[in-house]
A and B are shown apart, each in its own frame.
Chain A
Amino acid sequence: MSWQVHLPALVVSVPLLGAFISIAMVKPRLRNLWFATILVATTILAFLMWRYVAINGTLVYVMGGERWNLTLPSGMTLPIRIIMEVDAFGAFMALAGSIATLASGLFSVRFLDRVNDGNKFVALFFLLFAGMLGLEVTGDFFNFFVFLEIASVASFGLIAFWRDRPEAIEASFKYAVLSTFVALIFLIGVGILYGVYGTLNMAAIAKNMQVGFLEKLALVLFIVSLAMKSGAVPLHMWEPDAYGQAPAGVSCFLVVVGQASLYGMFRIAFSVYGQAFEGSVLAWVIIVLGLLSMFIGVIMAVIQKEAKRLMAYHCISQTGYMLMGIGLGLLALSSSQAMSEYGFTAMKGGIFHIINNAMYKGLLFLTAGSLFYATGTTNLNKLGGLARKMPYTTFMFAVAAAAIAGLPPFNGFVSKLLIYESSFVVHPFLAVVAMVTSILTLASFVKVFQSGFLGPSRDDLNNVREVPLSMVVGMMVLCVMIISLSMMPNWVLANLIEPAARDLVNQASYIQAVMGSGL
């Protein structure tokens, strides 16, 4: 037994420890050092966890048990302790999330010098980090709710971090009301499942699942609340406000936190309900949510004048791609022929899009942040001709914009192609909407690039200089990730994406890891 079996607990507890100790840091230099150390350490832990799961299969960890893998003490038919369960999909999400978080953290280090209460920023940042990773490693419904709330409370604080700006407070309040409300809805859903099955463990519920009226009601509550948290269309209003008003490093972070909620939705749809849920209603609901998010998000993005708000709307439309890809996989779940025909390709596309979006959307928010750092505005009408003054930022922006628009050879192209191919098999209309969205995405980023970076230099921006080194390093992390994902898509598909997609589809192995095969 190696120490690595404790990784699921460590990835949550290290940032949590980082949060509470950072409050007490007196010297700013020391605090910055602490910030960077914990960030890097957690990212390494997430990487090790991914590697461990890739080699040894699904990892189960019992909190406070006599042994780390004692899920069912003798004589019990239901697990009684809090159990964390990490399969390849969860480990993949944790890895992608922590890389984006590392970049946004490095980017934010210099930002901390400009504010008085940097300690609180660091504390909230780590709380959010712990909440996000917790969502991705837990195998327990109530635990999931707790981490959801940890992440929400930390993000209210971070969105309203510029508390002398009325808009920031307004955005945070909107998000707070909506998010508290849907978290309670989620809790009611958990309560219903507890009432029926007498347990809170996802795998145990999945094992006994027999879909009736109450289970359907709980599923509706789960889907509504997690769709809102991830910013899918009917409940997306908070997203442009929150992402637009938060400090740029935080917007980059909130993207991956939204994806953690998306992870929860897929986990519930595939691993808890899975094949017990007959009919294709759930799959179509997710696909339609995806279509709406894609199209409405991009339409709203095209007309925006404010760079960060524009990117936030794109975030909604990118979420649509993931929903559609994985929704198609869910549609094919009950028939192995459909699965090999289009379902698995769609799942690969959707999951690949998750990591792609974390990287390029994060990078876009960071470039918007450095525009703001250098010029004091992100309004596109007040920017222009910055390519000569900020060469690094311009380069990174160009890479990220090309990737999000799905231009070959960038990584966005690979994942979108997989989604086009598979959705075309189901219905050509789906593929057409996805392509139109992609073209409009390109159009709106050409607009940003043209009005922000090209053109004659403006007199009021003469004193602008490139952002400090640590911010460039933060952006560089994501830029390198985008380029390497683009350079070796086959390796990534074979080693990162396919194991994740396989584990997500394979409900039996998820149940077996906790419940054992004997019962």
Chain B
Amino acid sequence: MINNIPMLTVGALFVIGLYGVLFKRNIIKIAIAVSIIESSTNLFLIVLGYRTGGSIPVYTLAGEFKKMVLPTPQALTLTAIVIGLATTALLLTLIMLLYKHYGTLDVHEIRRLRG
């Protein structure tokens, strides 16, 4: 049970984020929800590579340990974090511009494109 807690956290974070994207009306909250899903994905990758009692995956610094955590998921996560930063920044920029044009952050009022 205790070993599954990281995975349960991943699931919980994902569900919270999904709920936010689908049901929140404030677009800043939607952006936050997207970031939460992002964090859950990153956590998922890190958990995948974790081995109980493993040391850092740098050969010269690992010292006596014979067991390391997997390096690939960590590299993936770093890349994913950078990409996440870019998309979050873009989302916030778009929100800023939307607020300038529409004067509101309510997703129900920002809908000139229909049909």
Given contacts A176-B90, A177-B34, A194-B72, contact A169 B97 (CB under 8 A): yes
Given contacts A160-B97, A167-B112, A169-B97, contact A191 B34 (CB under 8 A): no
Within 8 A of A (CB), among B53-110: 72-73, 76, 79-80, 83, 86-87, 90-91, 94-95, 97-98, 101-102, 110
Indicate which residue in B21, B37, B48, B102 contacts A194 across the interface (CB closer than 8 Å): B48
Give the CA-CA distance A200 to B72 in the complex, in Å: 9
Q: List B contacts of A173 (CB < 8 A).
A: 27, 91, 94-95, 98, 110
Interface residues on B, range: 20 to 34
Give the most central of A157, A184, A240, A300: most B CB within 10 Å: A184
Is B30 in contact with A177, judged by CB distance below 8 angstroms? yes
Within 8 A of B (CB), among A153-195: 153, 156-157, 160, 163, 166-167, 169-174, 176-177, 180-181, 184, 187-188, 191, 194-195
Is A170 in contact with B48, judged by CB distance below 8 angstroms? no
Asked whether B113 is an interface residue with its Cβ less than 8 Å from the other chain, the reply is yes
Give the CA-CA distance A172 to B93 in the complex, in Å: 11
Chain B nearest CB from A215 CB (Å) reads 15
Question: Can you name the residue of chain A whose Cβ is closest to the Cβ of B91?
Answer: A176
Instruction: Please report whether the interface of chain A is mostly helix, strand, loop or mixed according to DSSP.
Output: helix
Q: List A contacts of B83 (CB < 8 A).
A: 146, 149, 153
Give the CA-CA distance A176 to B91 in the complex, in Å: 7
Chain B nearest CB from A182 CB (Å) reads 10
Question: Can you name the residue of chain B whose Cβ is closest to the Cβ of A176?
Answer: B91
Asked whether A142 is an interface residue with its Cβ less than 8 Å from the other chain, the reply is yes
Question: Can you name the residue of chain B whose Cβ is closest to the Cβ of A305?
Answer: B115
Chain B nearest CB from A241 CB (Å) reads 5
Give the CA-CA distance A187 to B73 in the complex, in Å: 11
Given contacts A172-B94, A177-B21, A195-B48, contact A187 B113 (CB under 8 A): no
Given contacts A146-B79, A173-B27, A194-B72, contact A153 B87 (CB under 8 A): yes
Is B90 in contact with A191, judged by CB distance below 8 angstroms? no
Given contacts A160-B97, A194-B73, contact A170 B113 (CB under 8 A): yes
Q: List A contacts of B102 (CB < 8 A).
A: 166
Question: Can you name the residue of chain A whose Cβ is closest to the Cβ of B39?
Answer: A184
State the total of A-B contacts with C-beta under 8 angstroms.
Answer: 86
Chain A nearest CB from B103 CB (Å) reads 10
Is B48 in contact with A191, judged by CB distance below 8 angstroms? yes
Question: Can you name the residue of chain A whose Cβ is closest to the Cβ of B31?
Answer: A177
Give the CA-CA distance A171 to B30 in the complex, in Å: 15
Give the CA-CA distance A146 to B87 in the complex, in Å: 12
Question: By the criterion of a CB under 8 Å from any partner CB, how many residues of chain A are at the interface?
Answer: 35
Give the CA-CA distance A168 to B112 in the complex, in Å: 10
Chain A nearest CB from B47 CB (Å) reads 9
Q: List B contacts of A191 (CB < 8 A).
A: 41, 44-45, 48, 73, 76
Q: List B contacts of A171 (CB < 8 A).
A: 113
Q: List A contacts of B98 (CB < 8 A).
A: 166, 169-170, 173
Is B94 in contact with A166, judged by CB distance below 8 angstroms? no
Within 8 A of B (CB), among A125-162: 142, 146, 149, 152-153, 156-157, 160
Given contacts A142-B76, A181-B34, A191-B48, contact A166 B41 (CB under 8 A): no
Give the CA-CA distance A362 to B35 in the complex, in Å: 34
Q: Please, what's the 1-or-0 string for A378-394, where 1 marks a CB less than 8 Å from any CB in chain B? A: 00000000000000000
Give the CA-CA distance A237 to B73 in the complex, in Å: 33
Give the most central of A152, A191, A195, A244: most B CB within 10 Å: A191
Q: List A contacts of B90 (CB < 8 A).
A: 153, 156-157, 176
Given contacts A146-B79, A167-B112, A169-B98, contact A181 B21 (CB under 8 A): yes
Q: List A contacts of B80 (CB < 8 A).
A: 187
Q: List A contacts of B34 (CB < 8 A).
A: 177, 180-181, 184
Given contacts A146-B83, A184-B41, A200-B72, contact A241 B113 (CB under 8 A): yes
Give the CA-CA distance A177 to B45 in the complex, in Å: 22
What are 12 A-B contacts defined by CB distance under 8 Å?
A149-B83, A149-B87, A160-B97, A169-B98, A170-B112, A171-B113, A174-B113, A177-B31, A180-B38, A180-B91, A184-B41, A194-B48
Interface residues of A (CB under 8 A from B): 142, 146, 149, 152-153, 156-157, 160, 163, 166-167, 169-174, 176-177, 180-181, 184, 187-188, 191, 194-195, 200, 240-241, 244-245, 300, 303-304
Give 5 A-B pairs besides A169-B97, A170-B110, A180-B38 with Cβ atoms closer than 8 angstroms. Answer: A146-B79, A173-B110, A177-B30, A191-B48, A303-B115
> What 3 A-B pairs have minimum CB-CB distances, sorted nearest first?
A166-B101, A173-B94, A241-B113
